[in-house]
Amino acid sequence: MVSLDDAERNRAFADSMGADFILLSDPSGQAAESYGVLAMGGLYARRITYYIDAQGRIAHIDRDVATETHGEDVLRKLGELGFPKKASSSSPDAVESPPQDGK
């Protein structure tokens, strides 16, 4: 997830939500601009989900994110795209992150 907020504000948000995923702080908007999600002259980033495979290729772009069902939507799409599942005692449907191979 990319946010235009600074790292401290993102940490506070993640802590308040009990999030266990990485938030990218992008206060300059450079990453958001590169992905074409920067909106309103840099005031915020649009909610668009990019699915990036282990080779770094964009496998799918979801431009119609529904916040109410996004978690389930992501899991379904990852399965459709063939991303491997990761067994977990807390979440049997968790999806394993692709290897980073030093990048």
- Reading the chain (103 residues) residue by residue, the pLDDT tens digits are 788 999 999 999 989 989 888 888 999 999 999 999 999 988 999 999 999 999 999 999 999 999 999 999 999 999 999 999 876 655 555 555 555 454 4
Taking the CA atoms of residue 43, residue 49, residue 103 and residue 28 in that order, the dihedral angle to the nearest 10 degrees is 0
Rounded Cα distance, 46 and 37, in Å: 5
